[in-house]
Structure 1
């Protein structure tokens, strides 16, 4: 009975936190700021030290909220398949590894100057070296900048940092003096073996799952993709945690392995609502960790540390990417995007406290700096491209390497939603024209047919705006909607008009009476089935009459043919 009561208490706290996040995040959004700042404020006000203590299940909520980061990485993995990750290049990954090493070295030097011991200085450097995957990718995704050069660099660095969490966690344990050198070496080897086994297992399971789903008719079993997405994303996170790897990294690998399948678009849309809820909980839980009273009392120290970290990380990443051949504009923008303390500082700090290498004051300082940097990132990340352009203009390099703003892949020229007989007929003029054509279809048969014709095809329910966004239909020049169901076609058209008001839109209307509705909703051209059928019938009837009159013998009837 006690366990049941505890469950309802946790549920109440989750509802209270989400409700407060909705209100405070809405206020910040109303004034043109990121709602993330509102979520953090809501957490600081409701729970944790120095708050009103309206939420008491901060540890349970924090554990649940970590799944939000995992689903964010899973969703991003769907976006970046193995092929697209190859296009990312080695520079962002190399830059990420260099950034972690140099940031630890500089933070160690700074902490030593302020009187921390050698071990605690190293631990401090490890905690502040990582940036926030949840904050940066969320803001970049909101602004559509993940595929911009500074977005690609940020992604590569963040992925490298997620990989670095494992050795840094081992480093924190080693600094605490737990275990001999041989035991530590054995733990590292065991971890690498388990990581390799996890990757092979995920590869095998995703292949089997894709083959299984390929035999199903998804438009009749829509719930299957939802279940599959949740099982795969959260299952990969659990499996990674079980073998001692970052759950977010395992979820990313699972998403990346699925990213090249035709189901990627629909899966990403299906997990989006759950991901939003869990990420909101994550930021609320992050706010609950901070102690506003401690931050105010030690405001001068927190301010100095935050300023030093932002400037230091910006300079380190700027120099590293400049040495790797990136332009000044992109290097500076990347540096500003990643100039904060990440959420894994909480995890590493907790390990450090347990092993006795990190004091309570140092932990409180790092947590406070992380929370303040979260707040500032909501303003700094959107300003990153502008700062990059400004610095480039000051240095006289604003005209350099103009091709660095190209996205990973160009958007489609034409999109056809629904690839039944009508869609296939509509696509005939596009074959061998050199245009980039994307097909969105729920039926696996239609997707196979589209690929046979040389088109890019994805399985997805286009009535979900996330599917259209993921397929980049807002960047198309023309969209053809051939879905026969009136309400579904109207929903798709409204999504298109809201997200891409200038794209040329052609809509199929099954019945003539719906034509005006589509025109009022913003369709440029509406083609009615009834009109087409009537014209076809009239054409065949006219052909029959012509044939009949030409074969008619006027002598036998005393009349003349016209």
Structure 2
């Protein structure tokens, strides 16, 4: 007894570790989505699953969770590290690169979906507060499930994958104001609510800004000081210290620990230690995901399914319909055809893991009735289970749409599908791609271009240029263009991730075709070169060299000498890159 008191919930911890050790390799071998596997396992061994019969059958208590306190303890740890990993995925560089999609499409999706779902929830008799909470949390999708599906399909680097990832990034950012508002609702009353909201928001923003600014000044020097030997145990200790320490600071400020863990991830994402942290926590990533999602599954009362055999499936279907339509319209306005827009909407149509955190908090703080909370947790869980099938159906619809609409920009016509000896394929037909096309046309070299912006394609294709809508990373598109017989493939894509994905796919499929690529900078150029590009030109290198030539001439250096100096530097840097 004394040993058990010295280490609370020892049995629950041992059961969890045993289950995780069995589940993780089993799910990987069976190629089952880990999130869904952990949810199902948690539901099965939780207090509302086999735990219900543990009193009558004592042997069941050996591998089930019968006490909700142990589940809550595990769940809180899981929440903290899930929020930390979400924050670590975000960075100013990524946000800036995808700013139009993130703050445009993402913001519209969250607000429109939240408004529609909130109004429906209110019309079913929920209070204004509950309707607001339900609309907000159900507008968010599952980052864990969607990212895993896109990774398995290798679609993350495609335009549709980047659009989906951008919407997920905005949803992750929306967690911060939502956590703050939940704190306001938990403390407030109807009287003086506006004043309380303003004061709490002001206090929260000030606390977050202070923690963020201090964290930026402390975290980087702290890691620099203690990681000189690059010992993994020291790195892990600092990562844990940063996560739990900042979480403790936000709790002291009257905010949630989950928000602090999110800020810790966000701070580390801005440092040069980000990738080392990712490598350090990689062995624990599956364990931490299992901790969170199994604890969520354990909190779900499956008996609610029998109580609502009609409304549960209807609610899941309704959630998918609302979010799929909203996202599809946004993507269609953004330039995707209806087939791919619906595919993207179906991929993001489920509820998200953050709903479990919010619903659990609102149930504990009496903001939402327990029966409503259990119902919503089941709706979100069932939507996660349905996501792989719905996403497959969405992809099938996208393929069917493109087959039925061959006149849509993006379909290869007979002319481009015929092999042309010595033709160059240009992937990305913006300013750089158009310049390449003009210069090789002047030499009588045939070419064909693919571009993901339908407005650009429509304008240029109508003028008679061989420009078609399509993603050059899709091998079926390149196969139809007979890329194996191309004289060269030129990549001029703007998005670094899309270019890297395309290089890898093209090099695997066509190892002998010369592959030329434009990169954003020298670091990106090195990544493209390692992925298989034959020749890479960094955009910043040429800009810097040309600018240097003009500066030298203005300082009195002769034009010929300036050109020679620049050429020597160009040759040196390119030799280093391709050496």
What is the match of residue 200 of structure 1? 213
Task: Say whether 1:227 aligns with 2:237.
Answer: yes
Contact 2:235 2:280 in 1 (8 A): yes
Q: Relative to structure 1, is the Cα distance of residues 394 and 125 closer, same or farther in structure 2, using a 3 angstrom cutoff? A: farther
How high is the TM-score relative to the length of structure 1? 0.65
- Give the distance between the partners of 1:437 and 1:86, measured in 2 at CA: 14
Contact 1:313 1:339 in 2 (8 A): yes
Q: How far off its partner does 1:154 sit?
A: 3.6
Contact 2:212 2:267 in 1 (8 A): no
What is the match of residue 377 of structure 2? 367
- Give the distance between the partners of 1:93 and 1:317, measured in 2 at CA: 14
What is the match of residue 149 of structure 1? 162
Contact 2:326 2:345 in 1 (8 A): yes
Q: Relative to structure 1, is the Cα distance of residues 202 and 385 closer, same or farther in structure 2, using a 3 angstrom cutoff? A: farther
The CA RMSD measured in Å over matched residues stands at 3.9
Q: How far off its partner does 1:135 sit?
A: 3.2
Aligned counterpart in structure 1 of residue 81 of structure 2, from 68, 71, 82:
68
Q: Cα deviations across residues 351-383 of structure 1 (Å, max 9, x unaligned)?
A: 444554422221121011111112223444576
Contact 1:321 1:331 in 2 (8 A): yes
Task: Say whether 1:129 aligns with 2:117.
Answer: no
User: What is the SS of the residue equivalent to 2:352?
Assistant: coil
Task: Say whether 1:274 aligns with 2:284.
Answer: yes
Higher RCO (CA 8 Å, separation ≥ 6 residues): 1
Q: How far off its partner does 1:319 sit?
A: 1.5
Q: How far off its partner does 1:89 sit?
A: 1.7
Q: Cα deviations across residues 431-459 of structure 1 (Å, max 9, x unaligned)?
A: xx999899xxxxxxxxxxxxxxx66799x
- Give the distance between the partners of 2:196 and 2:326, measured in 1 at CA: 34
Q: Relative to structure 1, is the Cα distance of residues 118 and 258 closer, same or farther in structure 2, using a 3 angstrom cutoff? A: closer
Q: How far off its partner does 1:33 sit?
A: 2.3
- Give the distance between the partners of 1:241 and 1:139, measured in 2 at CA: 34
Q: How far off its partner does 1:295 sit?
A: 1.5
What is the match of residue 38 of structure 2? 39
Task: Say whether 1:316 aligns with 2:326.
Answer: yes
Q: Cα deviations across residues 33-64 of structure 1 (Å, max 9, x unaligned)?
A: 21322211110111132432511311111111
What is the match of residue 408 of structure 1? 496
- Give the distance between the partners of 2:86 and 2:291, measured in 1 at CA: 16
- Give the distance between the partners of 1:236 and 1:457, measured in 2 at CA: 36
Task: Say whether 1:189 aligns with 2:202.
Answer: yes
Contact 2:188 2:196 in 1 (8 A): no
- Give the distance between the partners of 2:189 and 2:386, measured in 1 at CA: 32
Q: Relative to structure 1, is the Cα distance of residues 259 and 105 closer, same or farther in structure 2, using a 3 angstrom cutoff? A: closer
Q: Relative to structure 1, is the Cα distance of residues 84 and 112 closer, same or farther in structure 2, using a 3 angstrom cutoff? A: closer
After alignment, is 226-235 or 385-394 more displaced? Answer: 385-394
User: What is the SS of the residue equivalent to 1:266?
Assistant: helix
- Give the distance between the partners of 2:249 and 2:218, measured in 1 at CA: 12
Q: How far off its partner does 1:309 sit?
A: 0.3
Task: Say whether 1:109 aligns with 2:122.
Answer: no
Q: How far off its partner does 1:85 sit?
A: 2.4
Aligned counterpart in structure 1 of residue 316 of structure 2, from 306, 322, 328:
306
Q: How far off its partner does 1:318 sit?
A: 1.6
Aligned counterpart in structure 1 of residue 353 of structure 2, from 343, 349, 364:
343
- Give the distance between the partners of 2:342 and 2:118, measured in 1 at CA: 23
Number of residues paired by the alignment? Answer: 427
What is the match of residue 158 of structure 1? 171
What is the match of residue 95 of structure 1? 105
What is the match of residue 48 of structure 1? 47
Contact 1:58 1:285 in 2 (8 A): yes
- Give the distance between the partners of 2:290 and 2:313, measured in 1 at CA: 26
Contact 1:70 1:234 in 2 (8 A): no
Q: Relative to structure 1, is the Cα distance of residues 378 and 253 closer, same or farther in structure 2, using a 3 angstrom cutoff? A: farther
Contact 2:4 2:10 in 1 (8 A): no
User: What is the SS of the residue equivalent to 1:99?
Assistant: helix
Contact 2:350 2:383 in 1 (8 A): yes
Unaligned runs of 5+ in 2: 53-63, 411-451, 454-469, 474-492, 505-515, 535-579
Q: Relative to structure 1, is the Cα distance of residues 279 and 240 closer, same or farther in structure 2, using a 3 angstrom cutoff? A: farther
- Give the distance between the partners of 1:100 and 1:311, measured in 2 at CA: 15
Aligned counterpart in structure 2 of residue 296 of structure 1, from 294, 302, 306:
306
Q: Cα deviations across residues 10-47 of structure 1 (Å, max 9, x unaligned)?
A: 23213313433444555554443213222111101111
- Give the distance between the partners of 1:247 and 1:336, measured in 2 at CA: 32
Q: Cα deviations across residues 158-177 of structure 1 (Å, max 9, x unaligned)?
A: 22332342354156448863
Q: How far off its partner does 1:312 sit?
A: 0.8
Unaligned runs of 5+ in 1: 416-432, 439-453, 459-470, 479-562
Task: Say whether 1:83 aligns with 2:96.
Answer: no
Contact 2:220 2:271 in 1 (8 A): no
- Give the distance between the partners of 1:362 and 1:325, measured in 2 at CA: 39
What is the match of residue 358 of structure 1? 368
- Give the distance between the partners of 1:27 and 1:317, measured in 2 at CA: 34
Q: Relative to structure 1, is the Cα distance of residues 142 and 203 closer, same or farther in structure 2, using a 3 angstrom cutoff? A: farther
Contact 2:243 2:261 in 1 (8 A): yes
- Give the distance between the partners of 1:11 and 1:386, measured in 2 at CA: 48
Contact 1:126 1:168 in 2 (8 A): no
- Give the distance between the partners of 2:300 and 2:201, measured in 1 at CA: 33
